[in-house]
Amino acid sequence: MLTEANPCSADEVGAFYDRLGGYFATVFGDDNIHFGYWDDADDDAGSGLAQDRLTRMALAWLSPAAEHWVLDVGCGTGGPGRLAVRETGCSVAGVTVSRSQVEQAHRTAVREGVAGRLRVQRADAMALPFPAESFDAVLALESIFHMADRRRAFAEISRVLRPGGRVAITDIVRVGPMTGALGAHIQRTLGCAPLAGVEDYPPALAAAGLRVRELRDISAHSRRSVEQIHERHLSHEGELRAHCGDAFIDALLDDWPAVLAAFGHSLGYVFVTADKPASA
């Protein structure tokens, strides 16, 4: 169930990202900490382009205008928010539980000249520090799986979203039977809550007053990210050990092959769009 207890609090997830900033920069790059999207096996896009493509898919649904405010839940170092500001002219408020990500996002926004329209702060998505109906759209790329209580996070998203507003989510979910051992591998590797099942999404969003418009399994289009992460673990092992220590990398090298083998079978990646019905 989506309310299953999470061994990681928001503070612990924040500490996970603070401690492993060097890992994420090495494996994902400086702009994005989420999977990419490839059209098919012949698509030769690099990982950065594929990551931006996924962000643009979400923005295409959100359709923010220059006068709109977008909330980026789990904004990481601010890459999707910067892209949204540059390409749509909207304003973005990003929230993350990581102190180091807040600092990096601010530095990069200043350097790229978008700090006037991109504000990032440390906040828990399950207790958002914003008034009701503050935002025209909400973006949550690969952050919901960290939430201890996803239903509460969805309720908070709905609360701060204006009637008629839109939501775009990508998430790592269960798409088939999963053993306890595999679940433990995934939680340890991703720093996540026990994963939701893909079937849990529609009722959980509906309970928050959000209407699902699309729920699409895009695992086949994003598997290359999982493969590339595994390759970078191996090709940058020495650098990663220097950043993260031997114990973490030893566990990662043990766990990631199981994640890779499960991806597209018991473990999947979904693209979800929803909206908040306008008031009658």
Q: Is residue 55 assigned to a domain?
A: yes
- pLDDT above 70 as % of the chain: 97
Q: Is residue 4 assigned to a domain?
A: no
Q: Is residue 1 assigned to a domain?
A: no
Query: What average pLDDT does the segment 248-263 reach?
Result: 88
Q: Is residue 3 assigned to a domain?
A: no
Task: Categorize the per-residue pLDDT at 129 as very low, low, confident or very high, splitting at 50, 70 and 90.
Answer: very high
Query: What average pLDDT does the segment 130-140 reach?
Result: 98
Q: Is residue 2 assigned to a domain?
A: no
CATH number at residue 169: 3.40.50.150
What is d(CA 77, CA 193) in angstroms, rounded to the nearest whole number? 21
According to DSSP, the residues that pair with 120 across neighbouring strands are 94
pLDDT (tens digit per residue) in 138-182: 999 999 999 989 999 999 999 999 999 999 999 999 999 888 888
246 pLDDT higher than 80:
yes
2 pLDDT higher than 80:
no
Q: What is the domain extent for residue 222?
A: 10-275
Residue 185 host element (H or E): helix 180-190
**What's the pLDDT score for residue 223?**
94
pLDDT (tens digit per residue) in 102-121: 999 999 999 999 999 999 99
Compute the residue count for the chain. Answer: 280
Q: Is residue 122 assigned to a domain?
A: yes
What's the number of domains the chain is made of? Answer: 1
pLDDT (tens digit per residue) in 206-244: 999 999 999 999 999 999 999 999 999 999 999 999 988
Enumerate residues 6+ apart whose C-beta is below 8 A from 239.
Answer: 26
pLDDT (tens digit per residue) in 37-73: 999 999 999 999 999 999 999 999 999 999 999 999 9
Q: Is residue 280 assigned to a domain?
A: no
Select the more confidently predicted residue: 21 or 221: 221
Task: Categorize the per-residue pLDDT at 5 as very low, low, confident or very high, splitting at 50, 70 and 90.
Answer: very low
6 pLDDT higher than 70:
no
Residue 211 host element (H or E): strand 211-217
What is d(CA 79, CA 43) in angstroms, rounded to the nearest whole number? 22
Q: Is residue 163 assigned to a domain?
A: yes
250 pLDDT higher than 50:
yes
Task: Categorize the per-residue pLDDT at 4 as very low, low, confident or very high, splitting at 50, 70 and 90.
Answer: very low
Work out whether strand 161-174 and strand 135-141 pair parallel, antiparallel, or are unpaired.
parallel
